Chains A and B, each alone.
Chain A
Amino acid sequence: MQNAVLAEGLAMRFGETRALDGVDLAVPSGTVLGLLGPNGAGKTTAVRILTTLLRPDAGRAEVCGYDVVREAHQVRQLIGLTGQYASVDEMLTGTENLLLIGRLLGLTRPLAKRRARELLERFGLADAAGRAAKTYSGGMRRRLDLAASLVASPRVLFLDEPTTGLDPRSRLDLWQIIRDLVADGVTVLLTTQYLDEADQLASRIAVVDHGRVIAEGTPAELKARTGAQPLVVRPADPADLPTVLRIVGDLSDTAPAVEGTVVTATVADPAVLPAVVRRLDDANVLVAELALRDVSLDEVFLALTGQRTAAPALPEGVPA
């Protein structure tokens, strides 16, 4: 299968910061690659290079066989980018935003209008088509931004944290839109901080940290590498904490930790869960919460790097 996106040894430095430190990527045509990593890992920098917005200091990259530096103009005819910040013109209406892009792409006025109407309808923005984008909600803006990157029917779509800052409903809507695009044969490279997002959308995931790809594989492969899932138990009565700690400690692979009234430990074998339930029942401990949580990005990171991710505590709007 041909690669729609190919990057070799991409390196980029901003002053003292090494944003990218030799990144190799390959996205076969028609597939979705999730670029997973915490804030500041270099995801956005990689996307900006691949979409011709930045020139790499070293390495090379191509989209559909065109070099992103030497043949930037050709690349721009094949790609669409939806950034972390919806780059729509707030002063224009939804229709006008898409009309502008259509006209810039060389569509005639009637054709550009038709395309704008199509896309607004498809993304549930028909009712808001005549309103200035500054009156849109975050989710609507993001959808308009995505619509703007689809006016040209790109072969390769880059989505930089497409759902960051969106409410759960808008997030699900956007996921469905992305799935539909993939079904239409569009190649997608998306960055995200959320494992579940990559899990939902991506056929392969590349985990990025400190400007390097530290792991690559299918979502299942990556989760398997962590080998364990977090077990969480919260007794209804905090007085039972020592008992819970003992029981969990007996059954889990790692020494359990206590945070407030919650006991957590990692377990590799899902059969541990019923065992914990039985033992707790035997000891007459009532639990308020008992769960085997899905592996989070944090756990994947922990397993891959041996350290926690830099807490994603950066305020929204800080470029990664």
Chain B
Amino acid sequence: MTASIAVPAARVRPAEGLRQSASLSWRTLVQIKHNPMELIDFSIQPVMFLLLFTYVFGGAIVGSTGDYLAFALPGIIVQNALFASLNTGVGLNTDLTKGVFDRLRTLPIARWAPLAGRIAADMVKQVWALVLLLGIGAIMGFRVGGSPLGLLGAAGLLLVVVFAFSWIAVLVGMIVSEPEKVMIFGFTVMFPLTFVSNAFVPADTMPSWLQGWVEVNPVTLLADAMRGLLGGGSVAGPVGGVVLWSAAITVVVAPLAVRAFKRRV
């Protein structure tokens, strides 16, 4: 039996490329089975954040843990999703340094399939974390006040932002020499970005110069939009801002990331 081809095809058909991306997504997801630590990494950590912030800081910040949960759960979802978006870069860089990309590049597959496959698999993990946080949040007393459509909208909007941010992760993952450095970048950029927002605390006690940034920070806008979509409030303003930010990040960073990817992979 053989898979060799009498006359080699000149290029990959787009449908084949999609199927190859799906196979590569499968590969990223099936890794979890053999490395349960990874599952813990993107499950326990957000839940721990949620519990700590709610029960330790919640009362001090807004007076009661119940009120705080309603305010903070959407923020924690956002913060966790943006941090997790870096995993795309970590995974790509690991494949690069371990030689997996060498193997993939000698195969007659679409050049973009490994990238698409990785991003798609990481999206699946994001959905899992979202479901988990909403589930634990519900147990803790969070009530989704909006319609099911609002819930879907919240998930969709979150994935749009994650998609935009994953281009940053791809770019970083292609530039740095080892996977750990993606995380170092994450901590030095993502921490200030997510904390200087209203994800965890209302901005009114912050110095005014900081408030200026908090108001336009995409993390604030996304947290507000999520609050509205999950809680049933008005969302038009923040959603518009979020979409603009996502579009801007994608337009600027995606071409750079794809170029970096093509150069190294």
Q: What residues make up the interface of A, taking CB atoms closer than 8 Å to B?
A: 51-53, 66, 71, 73-81, 83, 85-93, 96, 100-107, 111, 114-115, 118, 132, 134, 145, 148-149, 151-155
Contacts and interface: CB of A to CB of B under 8 A. Distances in A.
Contact of B106 (A80, A107, A118): A80
Contacts of A105: 3, 107-108
B9 to A, nearest CB: 7
A104 B24 contact: yes
Interface in B8-43: 8-12, 16, 19-20, 23-24, 26-27, 30-31, 34-35
B99 A101 contact: no
A184 to B, nearest CB: 11
Contact of A92 (B8, B31, B99, B109): B31
Contacts of B31: 89, 91-92
Contact of A81 (B11, B30, B102): B102
A89 B10 contact: no
A307 B8 CA distance: 45
Nearest to B22: A103
A114 B2 CA distance: 11
Given A73-B12, A105-B107, A100 B3 contact: no
B115 to A, nearest CB: 14
B102 A53 contact: yes
Given A91-B35, A92-B27, A132-B34, A77 B106 contact: no
A92 B5 contact: no
13 contacts: A53-B102, A53-B105, A73-B9, A74-B108, A85-B98, A88-B100, A92-B30, A101-B103, A104-B20, A104-B107, A106-B16, A149-B106, A152-B107
Interface of B: 1-5, 8-12, 16, 19-20, 23-24, 26-27, 30-31, 34-35, 98-100, 102-109, 113
A52 B105 contact: yes
Of A76, A111, A115, chain B has the most CB atoms within 10 Å of the CB of A76
B70 to A, nearest CB: 39
Nearest to B265: A53
A93 B106 contact: no
Contacts of B3: 102, 105-107, 115, 151-153
Nearest to B4: A153
Contacts of A52: 105-106
A108 to B, nearest CB: 11
B99 A76 contact: no
Contacts of B8: 66, 73-75, 77-78
Q: Which of A74, A88, A148, A155 has the most CB of B within 10 A?
A: A74
A216 B252 CA distance: 52
Given A85-B99, A103-B23, A77 B30 contact: no
Contacts of B109: 104
A30 to B, nearest CB: 15
A118 to B, nearest CB: 8
Q: Which 3 A-B pairs have the closest CB atoms?
A: A87-B99, A74-B8, A91-B31
Contacts of A118: 1
A152 B8 CA distance: 12
A152 B4 contact: yes
Given A73-B108, A74-B10, A81 B103 contact: yes
Contacts of A132: 34
A153 B34 CA distance: 29
A291 B53 CA distance: 76
A276 to B, nearest CB: 49
A204 B138 CA distance: 71
B98 A76 contact: no
Contact of A51 (B35, B98, B106, B113): B106
Given A103-B23, A104-B20, A90 B4 contact: no
A71 B23 CA distance: 24
A77 B27 contact: no
Nearest to B11: A73
B4 A87 contact: no
A7 to B, nearest CB: 17
Contact of A87 (B10, B11, B98): B98
B4 A53 contact: no
A154 B4 contact: yes
B99 to A, nearest CB: 3
A79 B107 CA distance: 8
B10 A73 contact: yes
Contact of A104 (B5, B9, B23): B23
A300 B102 CA distance: 32
Contacts of A90: 98
Contact of A115 (B1, B12, B26): B1
Contacts of A74: 8-10, 108
B42 to A, nearest CB: 15
Contacts of B1: 111, 114-115, 118
Nearest to A80: B106
A76 B107 contact: yes
A62 to B, nearest CB: 13
Contacts of A100: 23-24, 26-27
A134 B98 CA distance: 12
A88 B157 CA distance: 36
